[in-house]
Every structure is written in C-alpha cells, then in structure tokens.
Amino acid sequence: MASRQDKDGRGRFPGRVTRRGLLKGSAASGVAALGSYGAGAQEVQSETARSGETVDVSLNINGADHSFTLDARTTLLDLLRERMDLTGTKVGCNHGQCGACTILLDGTRINSCLMLAAAADGKAITTIEGLGRPDELHPMQAAFIQHDGFQCGYCTPGQILSAVGCVTEGHAGSRPEIREYMSGNLCRCGAYKGITEAVAEARDATIEWAEAT
C-alpha cells in the first residue's frame, strides 16, 4: 500500500490549507469542544500526557515506519492526532462507544481511543489518510460519496475504516449482517441507510483492493 502514500504517510499535500491549520490560527481553536456520547462527559478532549513514565514505541503508520518516545498513557488516538497530525481519525466519545476513532491495526478494525500506543508496538496502522488518495479513492470511500453515507462527516472516517474491516472479516454478506457488524459506529446524522448501501456496493471491490495491495 506504500505506493499510494505521499512521502511522509500523512496524506498531506503541499500548499493545502487544512482545517486544523485554520483552526489553530483562529479564535476558534480554544472552543473546539467535542460532544461526548454516554460516558466520561467531564472529558472534553484527549488528555495530553505531560508527566509519568515513558515508553519507546515503533509503528508503521500508513506505510511508513516511525519511532516514538511516549508517555505511557498515550493512546493510539492521541498519538495519531497529536504527534502525527493525522486528524482524520476523530475523537468522539473517547470511551469505545461511538467508533469515530476506528482504525485498522494489522488490518483489523479497532477503537484507537482504548488502545495504548505501547500495546501496539511493532504493528501496522492504517488511518483514513492512508486508505486512499484524493485522486485514487479507496472503493469504500467512493461508495460512501455515491450513496450519501454521511451528512456532517464527523463519523465518516471511522465508518469507512470499520466498513473495510466489516468486509474483510466476511460480515458484509447481506444488509442485515452489515447493519449488525457496523453497529460499533454511531452516526448522529442518521445516514445509516446510505452507509449500508455503500458497504454492500463496495464489498467486492474492497476485497479486490485488499488482494491487490
């Protein structure tokens, strides 16, 4: 899959203004509070660890190898967003209840908010930035666009990574099965019908894509 990556594996392209960069430079940066679903309402954003013991962690992220020295408390989600600026992976509930933080770990979908980066040492991660490129979308990305599998888009990176996992695990055989095996991803806009259609349509192409990469 490395051939599909830009040089640093971060999915960034020269000269583009990112939403994150824009926020950082504006008054909005201090109020980017994220909604919290269910548990842990007192937490507004990921804790950024500043003290405590450190661990050395090596990961392959979107095809590129990286080594880090991290506070042991760092979750994969913290690492991707705060250290790698891979902000396509979203913070939703931060407690494994909403699926917004879904990534692929050695090809298997997981909640990155509940996994310590240290526990993933030596493994390979795929985020939405590494799945496809703007000029060569992964078939699941294209299918989400085709079927309006989103409105606001916040849950979409997690939905798409989860959908790829759903297919490769062999649980996209019917629409009821897709609904059951996509239940770990909540969409507050209620785009479930389009999501289900997208997964069903992109199933075969996703398998072909996985075999080709």
**Which one of the spans 8-16, 28-36, 79-87, 106-114 is the region binding other proteins (CB under 8 A)?**
106-114
163 near other proteins, judged by CB under 8 A: no
200 near other proteins, judged by CB under 8 A: no
Contacts of 82 (CB under 8 A, 6+ apart): 46, 48
**What amino acid occupies position 96?**
G
21 near other proteins, judged by CB under 8 A: no
Please report, as residue ranges, which positions from 59 to 78 form the binding site for other proteins (by CB under 8 A). Answer: 71-73, 75
Member of 8, 169, 204, 208 binding other proteins (CB under 8 A): 169
Nearer to other proteins, 63 or 96 (CB): 96
Total binding residues for other proteins by CB under 8 A?
Answer: 40
Task: Report d(CA 103, CA 109) in Å as an integer.
Answer: 5
Member of 9, 11, 92, 165 binding other proteins (CB under 8 A): 165
Going along 37-130, which residue ranges are E strands?
A: 54-61, 64-71, 102-105, 108-111, 124-126
116 near other proteins, judged by CB under 8 A: yes
Query: 22: how many CB neighbours lie within 10 A of its CB?
Result: 11
189 near other proteins, judged by CB under 8 A: no
- The answer to whether the CB of 69 falls within 8 A of the CB of 127 is no
Nearer to other proteins, 103 or 143 (CB): 103
How far CA 12 is from CA of 20, 37, 133, 176, in Å, comes to: 12, 30, 10, 37
92 near other proteins, judged by CB under 8 A: no
Kindly state the smallest distance separating residue 119's Cβ from other proteins, in Å: 6
List, as one string, the DSSP characters of 122-163: T-EEE-HHHH-BTTB--HHHHHHHHTT--SS-TTHHHHHHHH
Task: Report d(CA 116, CA 113) in Å as an integer.
Answer: 8
Kindly state the smallest distance separating residue 22's Cβ from other proteins, in Å: 29
43 near other proteins, judged by CB under 8 A: yes
End-to-end CA separation in angstroms for the chain: 5
121 near other proteins, judged by CB under 8 A: yes
Site residues for other proteins per CB under 8 A: 39-40, 43, 47, 49, 51-53, 55, 71-73, 75, 94-96, 99, 102, 108-111, 114-116, 118-119, 121, 162, 165-166, 169, 171, 179-185
